[in-house]
Amino acid sequence: MTSSLDLVPELAPYQDQPAQLPAAANGKVGVLRLGFERRGDRTVLSDLYRQSPLLVQRALYWDEEMPGLPCVMILTTSGGVLQGDRLQMDVDLGAGAQAHLVTQAATKIQEMDANYGTQQQSITLADDAYLEFLPEPVIPFRHSRFVSHTLVRLAETATLLYAEVLQPGRKYYRDGEIFAYDLFSSQVRAERPDGRGLFVEKFVISPGRFPVARIGMMDRFHVFGNVMLLTDAGRAARVYERTAPPVWDEETPLATAVSRLPNEAGLVFKVLGQETEPVRAAVRAFCTAAREEVTGCTFPPTFSWR
């Protein structure tokens, strides 16, 4: 089974098959379909299809600030992304629906000696829908290869808060794995329901071919946070005012900045740090400002184990 993602140019050097199960074989194609709709004063998970290694059990309502918000945790039965894995996730929110998606733990892209892993995500938001998609960090192991494409279709009155935190690898494992992976590629494309394009953001990181520990790229930083707030111009302007100007914290160290996306699509917030927790704290602060301006509610306190 070949998809359009298998044909992206950065994957051309990695078309060999694993010696174990072939790529996209049974057990290596994870599928997840989530559909949310508004019912009364809360949103329900009305449609659920899952195929291992992706798994969702049920929606929980633990957010005391937004008691009608279903909180859904995405699980994996395989301990991470393995060579030859092909993952696909579709998320659909009906008019006025709200949802909060997280992952069970950091996404570990396991060490590979053949082929690669891919992930395709489709997110569709109807009028006045609101989605927070805030997964745990991604950890690409030594020699891993991973490509992710996300397509977002959202109405002008809908809001998406989407975050990624990319670690450099298993930084404190043995002698350290810092940018020892072969390939990490991520693309987000956004459009209106009529197909009118808003923007495309794509970054391709191949540390072995193009070192990233240099000025203009990561320099001395190791952890990269990337948050997109897709919402209307008024809300975006209020969040921008709360987030600007850029921050350069030499002591931590940490660097943050917010920019406007094309076509009044919203904002993108970027963070660089040497350790994960300061980056996550900056991401959370931006997400808190976004939620407050969009919904009028704040985030509850972080769990004690965070």
In this prediction, what percent of the chain has a pLDDT beyond 90? 90
Report the C-alpha gap between 113 and 69 in whole angstroms.
42
Strand 86-93 relative to strand 54-55, pairing: unpaired
* Encoded tokens for 179: 């940018």
> Given a cut of 60, is residue 34 above it in pLDDT?
yes
At residue 1, the pLDDT reads 55
Torsion of CA 7, 165, 51, 70, to 10 degrees: -140
Kindly report, residue by residue over 58-79, the tens digit of the pLDDT.
Answer: 999 999 999 999 999 999 998 8
> Given a cut of 80, is residue 164 above it in pLDDT?
yes
> Given a cut of 80, is residue 231 above it in pLDDT?
yes
At residue 267, the pLDDT reads 98
> Given a cut of 70, is residue 55 above it in pLDDT?
yes
At residue 150, the pLDDT reads 98
Question: Given pLDDT bands bounded at 50, 70 and 90, which one contains residue 118?
Answer: very high
CA distances to 79, 239, 270 from 243, rounded to whole Å, are 36, 6, 11
> Given a cut of 70, is residue 285 above it in pLDDT?
yes
Contacts of 11 (CB under 8 A, 6+ apart): 5, 116, 145, 147, 183
The answer to whether 49 and 29 are in contact (CB under 8 A) is: no
At residue 305, the pLDDT reads 55
At residue 2, the pLDDT reads 62
Residue indicated by tokens 């397509």:
151
Q: Which DSSP state fits 175?
A: T
Half-sphere exposure (Cβ direction) of 221: Cα atoms closer than 13 Å:
25
> Given a cut of 90, is residue 227 above it in pLDDT?
yes
- CA dihedral sign of residues 68, 73, 74, 77: negative
Question: Given pLDDT bands bounded at 50, 70 and 90, which one contains residue 174?
Answer: confident
> Given a cut of 90, is residue 216 above it in pLDDT?
no
Report the C-alpha gap between 230 and 269 in whole angstroms.
11
Domain map (residue ranges) of the chain:
22-295
pTM to 2 decimal places: 0.96
* Encoded tokens for 114: 């053949």
